[in-house]
Each structure stands twice: as structure tokens, then as C-alpha cells.
Structure 1
Amino acid sequence: MSRQQRDALDALLRSVPRGETPPTLEQQRSGFAAAVARPAPDGVVTRRTVLGGRPTLELEPSTASGRGRLLYLHGGGYVIGSPDTHAGLAGELARRAGLRALSVDYRLAPEHPFPAAVDDGLAAYRELLEAGTDPRDLVVAGDSAGGGLSVATLLAAREAGLPQPAAVVVFSPWVDLTLAGASIRSKEDADPIFTEADVRAYADLYVGAGDRAHPLASPVFGDLTGLPPLLIQVGANEVLLDDAVRLAGHAGAGNVEVTLEVLPGLPHVFQHHYGRLDEADAALDRAARFLTGHLEAGHPDSDRLEPVR
């Protein structure tokens, strides 16, 4: 892996100017889209559809098999981001796993505060099952707030009596809106993107005066028993490091099969930088193998699903 690539990425992220006046919500959303958005990869066809009553981006790799489905929930602090800003990341994971993906445009705060995003995630998951998708053929993934939302959606599905999917992958998940993790403060200097104040501002917009320790807002405080196999990937240079570490520990305590990967010297959702950061490509390959491996486990007598290299 390239130290030069990591250092160049850190310098690039630190070069983003911070104005003296906080940006407006519209400026945050447009700025995030300009900074993060990457198009769907070559060989991945996109279509507009609706799932669970919400606009959804369907991503279909040319190598997709007939049965597997990936439900993707994008990041952005529950305030910014969309399936379009994450078409590259979701599409790249889908391409490497050979899976059709559906990325949901769930409602954002502050216009639609908690639990709107969870309601939309659950509605999308429920519709996939009601449309005949075998839960053994369904996997879930998300990044940052979308990682937390992925876990919260599965907790809500469990409470609704719905079956769990085959597996779930989360990148740099935000799972504690109380900001109790020590890394929120201890990793501020190492994190080239976020400060504690940044993360707190998103929590304020999403939950407001509500209960920030509610398990559907902060899944690290929930009972994770019964959730499917979980892969967590996180960078060591991010304020949300302890969210990922504590989620893994809590999942393990709930008898969930969990794999935690902490990558040294890397920032929040470093997977966005596939194609220009060796660690991002390797991490996405591992995530794809994790998903396809658990899809195969649900159909032990069928042909193997081979991830795309």
C-alpha cells in the first residue's frame, strides 16, 4: 500500500477551505456534491425508480447475477448527500460484487428529522421482501450516517418481525449521536475532514431535542442480537473511529458474527477514493467478497457468485 497516496489524500482533504461564516444548508449540500460525487463506473447502468415510496437509483453492473440484491444507504450526516453523490461508491461496490443495487434517496434533516430516515430505510427493505426478494439473496451496505442507518434499518426490521438479510457492510459508520466515543476528541487533529463541532451540528439537525441515545438514532446503544454477519471498515484517522470499534464490540456481545477492519493513516469513508488509493480498492474487494460469500452461504447447493475483480 502506498504511503505517498495516503499522504497526498490527507493533504488534499486538509486543503479544503473553511470559511469564517458557516455555510448555509444549500451551500453544504451543493459543496458536498461537488466535492464527493463520482459517476457510476463503466459497465454499470443506472435507472431512476421508486422503492418504499422514495426516489431510488438502480445500479446494474453488466456482470450482475440473477438473484443477488444490494440495498445501499448513502452517507452525509442525515443532512446532505444523495444516491447521485454516491453513485460511484455504491456502483463500484455493486460492480465488484456482481450485484444489482438500489440506492435510496431517503428524506433528509432538518426538513425531515429523526426517525424519517429510518422509516424510509425500513419501507425500502420491506418492499424488497414483499416484492418476493428472498432475504437470503439480499444484502445491505452504507457509509457514514448511511452505515448507522443500515444498522438502524435492520433493528427496525427485526422489531417489525421481518427476516434479516444475508449480510451487512458499513464504511465508517456513525452510530453514536451522543458523541460519547473518545475519538470524537482525541482524533480531531488526525482527521482531515471533521471536527467534533461538525459532527455535533449534524446531530443537532437530525435529532434536535430528541433522545440521541435512542437505538434507532444511535444503534451502538441497541440490542444487536439477531443481526446478520457484519463487516465494519474504518480509517484510523477519523473522529468516528470509536463508533466503529464500539459497534463491533457491541455486535460481538450480541452474538453477531462481526469483522472489524481498522486501516492505518486513512480518513473517513476512504473507499470513496477507489482508483486512486490502493487501500480503497483493496477494501472494496474485501467488502464485495464478504457480501458474495454470505450470499453463497445461503444457497450452498447453487453455483457460486464470483465477485468481479
Structure 2
Amino acid sequence: MPSDIYQSIAASLDGQLTLPSDDLTTARNKMNALHYRPLAAGTTVEWRDFKGSSYAIVSSASLTEPHRYLLYIHGGAFIAGDGEGFLFYAEMLSEHFNATVALVDYRLAPEHRFPAALNDCCRVYQALLEQGVPAKSIGFIGDSCGGGLVLSSLFKLRDEGADLPSCGLSLCGWLDLASDSPDKDPLYDQGYTHRRGLDYAGDADLTQAYISPLYGELDKLPPLLLQVGESDPTRKHAEALLAKAKAAKQAVSLELSTHMPHGFHGFAAMGMPESLQALQRARHFYDSCLKH
């Protein structure tokens, strides 16, 4: 049985948040209305730039192990919610993972199409390494389109021969932008991913691995954790990626959260038990990877 908090949230949803028919301005306005929340007292934010890529170092007031790092790639359908808008999410991750969070303020589409966002993610990782942060002390984490960018970034870094981080965590990640199925849940429509994917990719092939990780080679990567809601349309892509990973003998775990829709991790800020439990499991995975 879903929690009372989730049932209350679900009852308030009207299925209008992620309509494939929304134009860019409408989609941005809807997304931006969900973000830009105030931060708690004691949270620190330091904005930095590395070779033209902007990022923020975010530390919650409860942080006790600042040498642990998460490189966070935010959601927002590639087109909305800049770094400022997702500071609250970075703060939440810093608190729940007891880690310093490097929030990538990647350039948004369609003004900056692929591979702009991907390049920004990889540059921020390079910045951390050049500052002396060991690769083994860094985990990649992202939600929604950011969850897809986690895998795309790992692919690119692997292909370039870079030292890879300790792990990658994809929360309801967009793994297949080419899919235009009619699947939907109370919060999300798969056709919306395809529409916004076109904003991001432009004329590039939606089935290339750096855009849709489901089509990539899943070898020589750090351990991966995929978390997705049971009713989330992206679930089938996560399951397909898991099957590919097993065939490639790549360490990938998939966790399904019963009844949950797309993007449910964000409801942790409202105290929703299902979100908090998922983040606790993700923290356990992160901890175990940093110990190796």
C-alpha cells in the first residue's frame, strides 16, 4: 500500500506536467515551477567555473565527511531547471549521502544541443580530479534526463581512457530517447522524453550511445545502480539495460520501488517514505563502492 503522503501527491496530479504536445516555453514553465526551492540554514554553495563549464560545490549543514564526493547531474528534460533551480536537490543529496556534491550547471537545450551538456559533465569531473579529488572518492548520480547523462558521461570518459569514478547511480534515468511509446504514469509521459530528446539531440542520431545509453556498450564501467518506480515508463528501458549488462558481465543492479512514478526521489524533500527508503538504499550502494 502506498504511503499517505504519496497518495496525497498522486491525487493532486492531473497528468499535465509532461505533455508531448507542450512547446518549449510551456515545458520550461512547468518544470521551473517545481524547482528553485529555498535552502536550509547552514548549507554552503560555492560556484566555480572550469574551462567554461559552471558547477556548484554544495555542502549540507550535517556534512561530516567532505572528502566523499557526488557529481550530480540534474533533471529538467534537458531544457529547464538550471543549476540554481536544483541546488535544493544537491543539498538533499549532500545530507542523505554525507557527501560534498558537485552540481553540474550544464548548458540547456535547444540553445545548446548535444554534446554540450555531456561535455560539461565530463569537464566538471575533470575539474574535481585536477583539484586533487581521487576518482575512487567520487560517485556519479543523476535523476531523470540526468540519470541518462550519468551513463553517457561514463561511456565518454571510458572511451577517452580517463580514470573512472567509483560508481554511477541513475535515478529514473532517461535511457532511450528514441522511444516514442504511449506509456505513461501519473507524473510522466514517455512521448515527452522523445519530444525533449529531439530538443537536445537536434539532427544527431537518437540511438547513439552518448545520447541514449541503452544502445551503448556496457563493459569496463564502474558498478552501476539503477533505481526506478514500478509504474515509471522508463522501467522497461532500465530492465533492458540490466539484461544487456548481465550479458556483458557488467556490475549493474536494478531496484524497483513499488507503485512509484517517474521522478519519485524528489518527494524525499516532503518526507515521503518511499523516496527516503530508496535514497537510503542508494546511500548503502555508494558507501560500499567507496570502500573498495
Report the TM-score, using the length of structure 2 for normalisation: 0.91
CA distance in 2, matches of 1:247, 1:15: 27
Report 1:224-303 matches (<5 A): 224-274=218-268, 275-297=270-292
1:154 aligns with 2:149: no
**Between 229-238 and 41-50, the greater mean CA deviation after superposition:** 41-50
1:83 Cα deviation from its structure 2 partner: 2.2
1:131–1:26: structure 2 CA closer, same or farther, 3 Å change rule? Answer: same
Report 1:209-228 matches (<5 A): 209-228=203-222
| Aligned partners of 1:231 and 1:290 also within 8 Å | yes
| Aligned partners of 1:110 and 1:206 also within 8 Å | yes
1:43 Cα deviation from its structure 2 partner: 4.3
| Aligned partners of 1:2 and 1:278 also within 8 Å | no
**Between 24-33 and 105-114, the greater mean CA deviation after superposition:** 24-33
Report 1:1-309 matches (<5 A): 2-14=2-14, 24-62=23-61, 63-179=63-179, 184-185=181-182, 187-188=183-184, 191-274=185-268, 275-297=270-292
CA distance in 2, matches of 1:88, 1:10: 22
CA distance in 2, matches of 1:103, 1:27: 25
The residue aligned with 1:303 is none
The one-letter amino acid paired with 1:238 is D
1:18–1:124: structure 2 CA closer, same or farther, 3 Å change rule? Answer: closer
CA distance in 2, matches of 1:23, 1:97: 35
1:239–1:52: structure 2 CA closer, same or farther, 3 Å change rule? Answer: farther
1:265 Cα deviation from its structure 2 partner: 1.1
1:124 Cα deviation from its structure 2 partner: 1.3
CA distance in 2, matches of 1:176, 1:251: 15
CA distance in 2, matches of 1:153, 1:293: 22
1:273 Cα deviation from its structure 2 partner: 0.4
The one-letter amino acid paired with 1:137 is S
Q: Which runs of 5+ in 1 are unaligned?
A: 298-309
The residue aligned with 1:301 is none
1:199 Cα deviation from its structure 2 partner: 2.0
1:106–1:248: structure 2 CA closer, same or farther, 3 Å change rule? Answer: same
| Aligned partners of 1:93 and 1:288 also within 8 Å | no
1:11 Cα deviation from its structure 2 partner: 1.8
1:15 Cα deviation from its structure 2 partner: 6.4
| Aligned partners of 1:224 and 1:250 also within 8 Å | yes
CA distance in 1, matches of 2:127, 2:48: 13
1:245–1:43: structure 2 CA closer, same or farther, 3 Å change rule? Answer: farther
CA distance in 2, matches of 1:55, 1:251: 32
1:249–1:81: structure 2 CA closer, same or farther, 3 Å change rule? Answer: farther
**Between 35-44 and 267-276, the greater mean CA deviation after superposition:** 35-44
| Aligned partners of 1:64 and 1:100 also within 8 Å | no
The residue aligned with 1:306 is none
**Between 4-13 and 98-107, the greater mean CA deviation after superposition:** 4-13
CA deviation map 1:248-284 (0-9, x unaligned)? 2222322222211111211111010013311001111
State the Cα RMSD in Å: 2.2
Secondary structure, in 3 states, of the residue corresponding to 2:84? coil
Aligned length: 290
Secondary structure, in 3 states, of the residue corresponding to 2:133? coil
The one-letter amino acid paired with 1:292 is D
CA distance in 1, matches of 2:42, 2:27: 31
CA distance in 1, matches of 2:274, 2:103: 24
1:76 Cα deviation from its structure 2 partner: 1.6
CA distance in 1, matches of 2:151, 2:106: 15
CA distance in 2, matches of 1:155, 1:17: 31
